[in-house]
């Protein structure tokens, strides 16, 4: 049996290698389809995980900002940017005095044009409670600010990496010189691209005395959030957003993107099926004579089916393997595409080409290809024997 299986595959490989042009065409189509399916599945899994990771990394469940569009404010905070609405310090004291609040941190967020054209650098003034709400944050080197008003900065991992900055180096911000005090470990979130300053320093540099962009709250019991939100609703200058709401709103937007990806992948899968089907059909046409001889030699229909189908299997497996490589190579492009086309994209990798995603894509595409190739294979199996032993064939 193994011998027969080996011979069947040897047949298929030999045929694939022999009919190079059409094999290459079919393999390429399958490869592109596999890569796109993998990116689509990887996007689906990666985006949700990235969003979870970013919300988790914020460290707070409830966000208080100045009045405005709540959704916009929340996504801006996830993505980073300047919001032209501020909270006054007295409001801060009122908010943190609420009984449900377990921990809180306040911040002032500003973005200014960065070093690269079009890029903006995010600055966030933070208070001493920052680290307490973000248990995931660790220093790669350096340490926390020496004082609440020190002219110092803590850099996100990517900032230090791209700008080749180290502890003790100076950076300039709106005419003020700041000393790098520490560099954070890579978090896979927006924080990687952020420069952190002491809150008081940020308020001073950006000329926003006693103003805050937001207050992050952690509650003792998330079940009490509704009561807190209701009560704070009465304060006219602020709005309160639960991060879980933001998450589901962002996922809603994501669905549109996913549909686009899916449609694209579906077209490519259809093309791949056409490729494998076409190759199988060509083989069938071209091989009528050969099939007749095989039948004459007593080859059972089942064997003919197996030979033809195995050839399609080899083509789609080859295509799928190439497709995996393409998917891994294409991951970056897919991410850029998503980032360019979605208003809010969480930091860190969002298209995950994990083994599970890759294997699922391969299984899906190969199964579909085999289904498409079944008809030509069945037609091969039904070829009549060469009844005449003579003549051209």
Partner 1 sequence: MSLVAATGLRKDYRQGGDVVAALRDVALAVEEGEFLCVTGPSGSGKSTLLSLLAGLDRPTRGSVTFRGEALETASSGRLAELRRTGMGFVFQDFRLVRHLTARANVRLPLLFAGDGEDRADELLERVGLAARAGHRPHELSRGEMQRVAVARALVHDPAVVFADEPTASLDRANREAVWRLLSELHTERGLTLVVAAHDAEQVPGAARTVRLADGRMVEPLRRGTDG
Residue numbers of the site for partner 1 (CB under 8 A)?
Answer: 3-4, 7-8, 10-11, 14-15, 17-19, 289-290, 293-300, 303, 385-393
| Nearest partner of 95 among 239, 195, 191, 198, judged by Cα | 239
Nearer to partner 1, 62 or 383 (CB): 383
As measured in angstroms, the least distance from the Cβ of 12 to ligand ATP is 32
Of 117 and 391, the one with the shorter C-beta distance to ligand ATP is 391
Q: Cβ of residue 321: shortest distance to Mg ion, in angstroms?
A: 48
Calpha distance 176→355 (Å, rounded): 48
Taking the least distance from each CB to Mg ion, the nearer of 135 and 289 is 289
DSSP notation for 201-242:
HHHHHTT-TTEESEEEEEES-GGGHHHHHHHHTTSTTEEEEE
274 touches, from ligand ATP, Mg ion, partner 1, none (C-beta below 5 to 8 Å by class): none
Give 3-state DSSP helix, strand, coil % of the chain, rounded to 5: 60, 15, 25
User: Residues 302, 363, 32, CA angle at the centre, nearest 5°?
Assistant: 105
Question: Is 164 an interacting residue with respect to ligand ATP (CB under 6 A)?
Answer: no
Min dist CB 390 to Mg ion, Å, is 4
Per-position x/- string for 363-392, each x denoting binding to Mg ion as judged by CB under 5 A, each - no binding: ---------------------------x--
Which residue number, 254 or 291, has a Cβ lying nearer to partner 1?
291
Report the nearest approach of partner 1 to the CB of residue 4 (Å): 6
Choose between 298 and 355: whose C-beta lies nearer to partner 1. Answer: 298
Q: How far is the CB of 375 from partner 1 (least distance, A)?
A: 22
Give residue 344's Cα distance to chain centre: 12
Distance, CA of 309 to CA of 15 (rounded, Å): 12
The listed partner (Mg ion, ligand ATP, partner 1, none) that binds 139, CB under 5 to 8 Å by sort, is none
In the complex, minimum distance from the CB of residue 161 to partner 1, in angstroms, rounded to a whole number: 54
Where are any strands of DSSP class E within the chain? 62-66, 87-88, 101-113, 120-126, 139-142, 152-155, 170-173, 176-184, 194-198, 211-212, 214-219, 238-242
Considering only residues 372 to 391 of the shown chain, the ones binding ligand ATP according to CB under 6 A are 388, 390
Q: How many whole angstroms separate alpha carbon 306 and alpha carbon 274? A: 20
State the burial class of residue 337 (Cβ atoms within 10 Å of its Cβ: 0-12, 13-18, 19+): middle
Is residue 60 a contact partner of residue 133, using CB atoms and an 8 Å limit? yes
**Residue 104 corresponds to which tokens in the numbers above?**
């809180």
Crossing angle of helices 301-341 and 2-18, in 10° steps, is 60
Closest to partner 1 by CB, 211 or 295: 295
Can you read off the two tokens belonging to residue 17? 């290698």
Q: Least Å distance between CB 392 and partner 1?
A: 6
Identify which of residues 93 and 390 has a Cβ nearer to ligand ATP in the complex: 390
The nearest distance, CB 293 to Mg ion, in angstroms, is 16
93 binds ligand ATP (CB under 6 A): no
Residue 226 contacts which entry, Mg ion, partner 1, ligand ATP, none (Cβ below 5-8 A, type-dependent): none
Instruction: Kindly list the residues in this chain that would bind ligand ATP in the complex (CB under 6 A).
Output: 388, 390
Which residues make up the interface to Mg ion (CB under 5 A)? 390
């Amino acid at each position: 049996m193994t011998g027969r299986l080996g011979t069947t595959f040897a047949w298929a490989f030999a045929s694939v290698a022999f009919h190079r042009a059409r094999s290459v065409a079919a393999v390429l189509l399958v490869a592109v389809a596999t890569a796109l399916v993998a990116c689509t599945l990887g996007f689906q899994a990666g985006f949700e995980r990235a969003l979870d990771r970013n919300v988790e990394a914020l460290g707070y469940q409830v966000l208080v900002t100045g009045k405005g569009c709540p959704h916009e404010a929340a996504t801006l905070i996830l993505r980073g940017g300047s919001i032209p609405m501020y909270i006054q310090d007295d409001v801060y004291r009122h908010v943190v005095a609420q009984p449900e609040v377990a921990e809180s941190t306040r911040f002032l967020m500003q973005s200014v044009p960065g070093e690269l054209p079009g890029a903006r650098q995010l600055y966030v003034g933070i208070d001493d409670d920052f680290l307490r709400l973000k248990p995931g944050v660790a220093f790669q080197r350096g340490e926390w600010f020496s004082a609440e008003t020190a002219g110092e900065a803590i850099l996100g991992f990517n900032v230090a990496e791209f700008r080749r900055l180290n502890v003790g180096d100076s950076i300039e911000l709106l005419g003020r010189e700041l000393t790098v005090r520490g560099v954070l470990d890579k978090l896979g979130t927006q924080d990687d691209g952020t420069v952190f300053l002491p809150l008081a320093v940020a308020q001073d540099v950006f000329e926003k005395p006693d103003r805050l962009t937001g207050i992050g709250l952690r509650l003792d019991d998330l079940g009490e959030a509704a009561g807190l939100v209701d009560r704070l609703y009465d304060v006219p200058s602020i709005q309160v957003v639960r991060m879980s709401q933001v998450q589901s709103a962002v996922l809603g937007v994501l669905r549109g993107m996913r549909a686009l990806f899916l449609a694209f992948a579906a077209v490519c899968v259809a093309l791949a099926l056409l490729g494998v089907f076409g190759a199988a059909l060509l083989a069938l046409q071209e091989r009528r004579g050969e099939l007749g001889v095989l039948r004459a030699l007593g080859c059972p229909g089942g064997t003919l089916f197996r030979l033809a189908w195995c050839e399609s299997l080899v083509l789609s497996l080859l295509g799928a393997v190439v497709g995996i490589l393409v998917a891994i190579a294409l991951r970056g492009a897919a991410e850029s595409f998503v980032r360019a086309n979605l208003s809010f994209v969480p930091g860190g990798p969002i298209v995950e080409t994990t083994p599970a995603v890759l294997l699922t894509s391969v299984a899906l595409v190969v199964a579909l290809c085999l289904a498409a190739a079944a008809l030509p294979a069945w037609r091969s199996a039904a070829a009549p024997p060469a009844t005449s032993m003579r003549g051209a064939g």
